[in-house]
Amino acid sequence: MRAIINTEYGPPEVVKLMEVDKPLPKDNEVLVKVHATTVNRTDCGFRSAEYFISRFFSGLIRPKNKTLGNEFAGEIETVGKDVTSFKVGDKVFGYNDTKFGAHAEYVTMAEDEAITTMPGNLTYEEAAPITEGGHYALCDIRAAKIKAGQKILINGATGAIGSAAVQLAKYFGAEVTAVCDTKNVDLVKSLGADVVIDYTKEDFTKMSQTFDVVFDAVGKSSFGQCKPILIKSGIYMSTELGKNCENIFLALTTPLFGGKKVLFPIPTINKQDVVFLKELVENNKYKPVIDRRYPLEQIVEAYKFVETGNKTGNVVITLT
């Protein structure tokens, strides 16, 4: 099968399109013919190993998993003999950031992992980007215990995480103020934001209004900058570690003192989360935003675009 291989860490050019053996599903696994996948910031982080800490998971010297790709949508081609919940021909989507492998024509998944049947109302290309930004946003929103009527500010509302966070925060009943640039104001309103701040015209950290939660989904601010716009018991969350990894330190210390605090939840995903996101999609409460599509052969270009930090939502890779 065709697969994207990287045998070393580095810039986008380290990934190569190659012919490799098709994986064989174990007894508890399904073999999925991948029709669409994504290049996202998680792939970029693991490919570049820019943060050295990621090497403790992905291999100290060189990558353990030679094919990246954590999101996929496709069709089940083979089921292992112990699989009971899927059958050949099922259209499925899911997420795997322990084994990766979706930048290829075929990927295997255990039936109890983060995989489920596709929402009936989406194509493969629309279903592939449901989970990456969606589960990061869900983890943060759950950690902050967002309740109906609470006020949340989401910075970077046009990233994969931010655009999912706006929709999920609305689903959980929050009043959402979203920050994006001029060209995306209408898009972000269409995702459900109650108020949209254009960051090219206004600095959200200088607003007079206060919020229960500030979620910086693009990691451009700090707790110190955002403290004035948090209520007394307000919560600050960011997708980045911050200067000198301060967000980790603050997440360990600020909850001890009461008052304003930082949360930095470790993202997790399981089958229930994927099913939850699928149901939101089916009920028109969540739809991943798609920016560009690239064929598998142009994945290096896709990586380069994702690493501009300016994609709107998700970048999809198509396989024929």
Residues in contact with ligand NAP by the rule CB under 6 A: 40-42, 45, 133, 155-156, 158-162, 179-181, 184, 199, 217-220, 239-240, 309-312
The nearest distance, CB 138 to ligand NAP, in angstroms, is 13
Q: How many whole angstroms separate alpha carbon 235 and alpha carbon 83? A: 43
Residues with Cβ within 8 Å of 80's Cβ and at least 6 positions away in sequence, in order, are: 25, 26, 27, 28, 29, 30, 111
Min CB(313)–ligand NAP separation in Å: 7
Please identify, using beta-carbon distances, which residue of 76 and 205 lies nearer to ligand NAP.
Answer: 205
Please identify, using beta-carbon distances, which residue of 30 and 188 lies nearer to ligand NAP. Answer: 188
Q: How far is the CB of 273 from ligand NAP (least distance, A)?
A: 16
Nearest-approach distance from CB 33 to ligand NAP, in angstroms: 26
CB-count burial class (<10 Å; 0-12, 13-18, 19+) for 73: buried
When the beta carbons of 181 and 282 are compared against ligand NAP, the nearer one is: 181
Residue at shortest CB range from ligand NAP: 159
d(CA 81, CA 91): 19
Q: How far is the CB of 238 from ligand NAP (least distance, A)?
A: 8
Q: Is 251 helix (H, G, I), strand (E, B) or coil?
A: helix
CB half-sphere exposure, 149, CA atoms < 13 A: 0
Residue 125: closest CA among 274, 288, 280: 288
CA-only gyration radius of the chain, Å:
20
CA distance 167 to 162: 9
Longest dimension (CA), the chain: 61
Nearer to ligand NAP, 59 or 219 (CB): 219
Q: Which CB, 145 or 183, lies closer to ligand NAP?
A: 183
